[in-house]
Amino acid sequence: MNEVFIAPSILAADFATLGDDLKEISKECSFLHLDIMDGHFVPNLSFGIPVVETLRKHTDLIFDTHLMVDEPKMFIKPFIDAGSDYVTFHVECTDEPFELINEIRSYGKKAGIAIHPYTPIEKIYPFTKKGAVDLILVMSVVPGFGGQSFMAAAKGRLIEVRNRLDKNGSEALLSVDGGIKDTTIKDAVSSGARLIVSGSSVFGKSDKAEAIRNLKNLSYQALNE
Ligand code: DX5
Ligand code: ZN
């Protein structure tokens, strides 16, 4: 699949102006990335169910919810009820990933699985089988904070996953998250990522729509090189 989507992450947003900012970015993108942190799996807290519920009333963007929590099972239903379209949990946080995928899909929603940069990439290979999952998220920073630098090792990890998805005929979206900006996005796309999460490089800019247009242009350049 050669379409590239940008998923702005509101972790970097100004929450006081977020309603207006969502209107602005909706002209340029269809996904919104929502980072949920529990203070255990990652050493930080972000926002929770009521915030997602409120945002749902203000936008039709596809909610790409990234659960950085030790007990994802506890939060699947609440975040789906709050309006999530994709729910992605970490492979490190459960012994029963396929049960969780089935549960998410049983609500008619898309299931994603994420991998921490220090987890051996082989852990994600079972999910590259055709139909196993709807999204695979390869983290390109240690999860927990926005504004970090892209880890170059993510490129090789994305390529491994991309090759397996293609070989298996899987249509799962390959996502990348962390440190994506104008100088790194082409590497991420040429390594096979198609859903590109970006926090500070969108919400940290004064013209957010322009920032997304710029990232999209660079993505298509990478696809055509
Ligand atoms: C990090 C989060 C990311 C974060 C990305 O734990 O999962 O989604 O918002 O932020 P930037 O794009 O600033 O690296
Ligand atoms: Zn994220």
Instruction: Give me the pLDDT at residue 211, please.
Output: 98
Largest CA distance in the chain: 45
| pLDDT at res. 20 | 96
Would the pLDDT of 28 be above 90? yes
Stretch 145-157: mean pLDDT, rounded?
A: 98
Pocket test for ligand 1, best of 6, 9, 38 (most atoms within 8 A of CB): 9
Does residue 123 surpass a pLDDT of 80?
Answer: yes
What average pLDDT is seen over the chain? 98
Ligand 2 centroid, distance to 91 Cα (angstroms) = 14
pLDDT for res 2: 84
Ligand lying nearest the CA atom of residue 38:
1
Would you state the pLDDT for residue 44?
A: 98
Distance of alpha carbon 160 from alpha carbon 115, whole angstroms: 13
Mean pLDDT of 181-200: 98
Query: Mean per-residue pLDDT for 41-65?
Result: 98
pLDDT band, residue 124 (cuts 50/70/90)? very high
Please write the tens of the pLDDT for every residue from 86-104.
999 999 999 999 999 999 9
Q: Which of 196, 167, 166, 170 is nearest to 181 (CA)?
A: 196
b (16+ CB within 10 A) / e for 200-211 = bbbbbeeebbeb
What residues are neighbours of ligand 2 (ion), with CB under 5 Å? 35, 66, 177
Q: 21, 38, 64, 177: which is the annotated catalytic residue? A: 177
Q: Could you confirm whether 85 is annotated as catalytic?
A: no
pLDDT at 66: 99
Instruction: Give the per-residue pLDDT at 1.
Output: 66
Mean pLDDT, residues 206-217 taken together:
98
With a cut of 70, say whether residue 46 has pLDDT above it. yes
